[in-house]
Structure 1
Amino acid sequence: MRDTLDSLTQQLLDAAQKAGADQADALAVDGTSVSIDVLNGQLEHAERSEGVDIGLRVLVGQRQACVSASDVSADTIASMAERAVAMAKEAPKDPHVMLAQPGALAQNWDLSALELADPTAEPDPAALERDALEAEAAALGVKGISQVASSSAGYGRHQFHLATSNGFSGGYGRTNRAITTVAITGEDATMERDYAGEMRIFQSDLPSAAEIGVKAGTRTVERAGSRKPPTGAYPVLYDERISSSLISHLLAAANGAMIARGSSWAMDLLGEQILPETLDLVEDPHRKRISGSRPFDGEGLATTTRKIIEKGVLTGWTLDLATAHKLGMESTASASRGTSSPPSPSVSNVALTQGNVTRDELISQMGTGLLVTGLIGSTINPNTGDYSRGASGFWVENGQIAYPVNECTIAGNLRDMLKRIIPANDAETHLSRMVPSLLVEGMTLAGD
């Protein structure tokens, strides 16, 4: 019988202590994933993977090392610990590596309130195949669709357990259920594609396969006849589908690891206006049935709600223990980690203040400009914030969508762009990054 995850982490800690580690933490992950792909009404690919991965981090003085394995035998655990301790003794000193103080460790969290795992049974492969086929058929049923490039359905269930040598032990599970369809319109040089995809923690929350297929087909047909927009300075409206990318660039710049390395365009903006003063950016790791939620971070600290941006002002960095120590600050309980790497800071769920107008009202307000629904590639200078991305979407004239566009580039500087964003009210509440459509005035477009 396979050992439980908490038993495996304790075995790792015991082996580390026996091998000579001063401190240690251990992570065990039990994962199952199933994916089904169909094409032209037939099963194209089916895949299932499952297994347990374990990871061990040891601290010897001010040195650390990480090792991982997918074999959970006693011999492997013992050799992992010996190897990790030997590696740590050869590693460079780092005065910032540490475990959390015992009094700061999370206690008495309520997993049931977060609803991170669907208790219903795993769907059988035939049910996933039916979903993929139904989504494909629905997309093909949209007038103007010439073919479906792919249609897939998947399911995943993962269980995590973290334990530390100073007394923390805790774990939780996650599930996900997803359907994705990619449709094509036109042929050869006139070919255009788009997609629709949905994922939920609870299977009962997932939209129907037919609805997802129709959305993929409709989005694709709308792109027929795409051409380049004019070159110049125009307002750009980031559709809700991709608007979170702007906030992701901000979150990356406010990451403590970037700040500690001195490689962030936001280094001098702590306590400064970075968004319009009407906007907050809130991290809430306790939202129910949301993929980014978690009761504790990768170092065992209790997660809490915090305002990263308050009334437009940047209030602090995203920090784990090591980066916080480097910067002379306190951890924001933002550590994330895998089995083969030490903790690093990352955010969980974030939500940007929504506006009081619809996306269509913003389109009318922008007059002439670009509605972006897809982004291609990325050139972001982390030190200066200079921004350039390939884009596709729709050209807007006199407040109305005129025609679809592709093969254009939008450019600006993030410091300037973020200060003048105007949000719509269309953020999707089931997403971990809840960001509405965002209008940015005065960007540079390179098209015809």
Structure 2
Amino acid sequence: MSSEIDSSTLLSRASQLIDLARKAGADAADAVVVRSRSQSVSVRLGKVEGTESSESDDFSLRVFIGKRVASVSANPGFDLQALAERAVAMAKVSPEDPFACLADEASLSKSYPDLQLLDTTEVSSEMLREASLAAEAAALAVKGVTNSSGAGASAGMGGLVLATSHGFEGSYMASRFGHSVSVIAGEGTGMERDYDFDSRLYYAELDDPSEIGRRAGERVIKRINPRQVPTGKDVTVIFDPRVARGFVGQIAGAINGAAVARKSSFLRDKMGQQVLKSGLSITDDPLIVRGPSSRPFDGEGVSGERLVMIEDGVLKHWFLSTSTARELGLETNGRGVRGGTAVSPSSTNLALEPGDIAPEDLIRSVGDGFYVTELIGHGVNMITGEYSRGATGFWIENGELTFPVSEVTIASNLKEMFMRLTPANDIDRKFGVAAPTFAIEGMTLAGR
């Protein structure tokens, strides 16, 4: 395990790559190694269906000659000099990019904290198998569950090694463990499927597999014999935390600097303006100890800080990498992420901060409405904000969840939805995108 965690050899190779690129004619360069180690086991109906194990150290070299840039990738064992010379040759014939550059030296991390992202617990394939079987068995034991779609368990680690030609060297690793199960209730055309899962940085903090299975079983039997409901306008829709997290991810997409630069965000002209209801805030913090998406520095060597992206409903920041920030006439806020050979901005530990009402009280306050547990399709236009998604869930009647509902569509515009959002107080911060249950008033529901 220690040899897998020690990144000193990889840092040395990355630094050699940069030196060779400079000798070959590059004005500046950075080299990154994306590390990955994983193993998983999947089972169905008490039998192992698959086991997987993988590990990789993927190198990327990015070189700059004036305003020209090129990137190349390779697996371990490549010829350092040949890769450096190839990258420089590609850069010489590449079109100019006025915004591509390394992060300014002044913004680079001089030191960074230990965020306790790595759990070195050794998890064997047998432990993964037993966890998968336990989750499935517990789900199948719930009365009304008729079949299994399978269960799985996984363990792994990943991280980043980065060196730049202006002196930055750093590395970190983060672990990840997970359990999941999916089961079926009902027969024939009346079958319904649901699931549950847990994912943590530390193995000991995972929910018990049997508890995950029981929750999955209880969720799916509640979905049996769904009904349709009449089409209506001005319907209050409550989003279960599982779907609420995806919705907050769409907010993140709308305030991503890359989307703003491309003019593909409906919030591109809203900086400094009200975009959420007063009192609501969205935060992003890369430095949470044991945070699910924490990182001591970004993909360019810049340490981010906690930002209130939307404060009291007012938009305060975009997610920015160096090149995106330059395009917008701004400075990076340490949100650059490596994706292959490119760097683009992204969130870290993102959260729609909770309100002060319990979810049960929020449901009671609705009277009649729709509680969404699953969304279907991709009917969101991020340029205009138009929103239309297939949905399943439960009808709310007299402030109580009553019968299951399927085959309906909910629709509105994200601009209006943001201004009508009321969050509950049940946020779970174990996810990289965290959100409580929330209600949105005034939506259109298309049913029968």
The answer to whether the superposition gives a TM-score over 0.5 is yes
CA distance in 1, matches of 2:311, 2:244: 19
2:369 equivalent in structure 1: 369
Check the 8 A contact 1:5/1:160 in 2, yes or no: no
CA distance in 2, matches of 1:273, 1:308: 12
Report the CA distance between 1:396 and its aligned residue. 0.9
Report the CA distance between 1:262 and its aligned residue. 1.4
Please give the secondary structure, in 1, of the residue aligned with 2:224. coil
Please give the secondary structure, in 1, of the residue aligned with 2:379. strand
Give the letter aligned to residue 415 of structure 2: R
Matched, 1:430 2:430: yes
CA distance in 2, matches of 1:86, 1:237: 56
Report the CA distance between 1:71 and its aligned residue. 3.0
Matched, 1:103 2:122: no
Matched, 1:258 2:259: yes
Matched, 1:229 2:229: yes
Check the 8 A contact 1:318/1:332 in 2, yes or no: yes
CA distance in 2, matches of 1:89, 1:187: 63
Report the CA distance between 1:191 and its aligned residue. 0.3
> How does 1:12-411 map onto structure 2 within 5 Å?
12-73=17-78, 75=79, 77-111=80-114, 114-120=115-121, 122-233=122-233, 234-338=235-339, 340-411=340-411
Unpaired runs of at least 5, structure 1: none
Per-residue displacement from partner, 1:337-392 (whole Å, max 9, x unpaired)? 13x32211111012222111111111111111110011111111121100111111
Give the letter aligned to residue 46 of structure 2: G
CA distance in 1, matches of 2:230, 2:83: 59
Please give the secondary structure, in 2, of the residue aligned with 1:241. helix
Please give the secondary structure, in 2, of the residue aligned with 1:86. helix
Please give the secondary structure, in 1, of the residue aligned with 2:227. coil
CA distance in 2, matches of 1:217, 1:425: 26
Check the 8 A contact 1:8/1:72 in 2, yes or no: no
Per-residue displacement from partner, 1:180-236 (whole Å, max 9, x unpaired)? 000100111000000001000000100100000001111111111112222112110
Alpha-carbon RMSD across the aligned residues, in angstroms, is 1.4
CA distance in 1, matches of 2:294, 2:302: 14
CA distance in 1, matches of 2:87, 2:314: 43
TM-score computed with the length of structure 2 as normaliser: 0.96
Check the 8 A contact 1:152/1:179 in 2, yes or no: yes
CA distance in 2, matches of 1:334, 1:32: 24
Report the CA distance between 1:408 and its aligned residue. 1.2
Check the 8 A contact 1:102/1:166 in 2, yes or no: yes
Report the CA distance between 1:18 and its aligned residue. 2.6
Matched residue pairs, number? 442
Check the 8 A contact 1:389/1:411 in 2, yes or no: yes
CA distance in 2, matches of 1:141, 1:55: 49
Deviates more, 1:357-366 or 1:161-170: 357-366
Report the CA distance between 1:104 and its aligned residue. 1.6
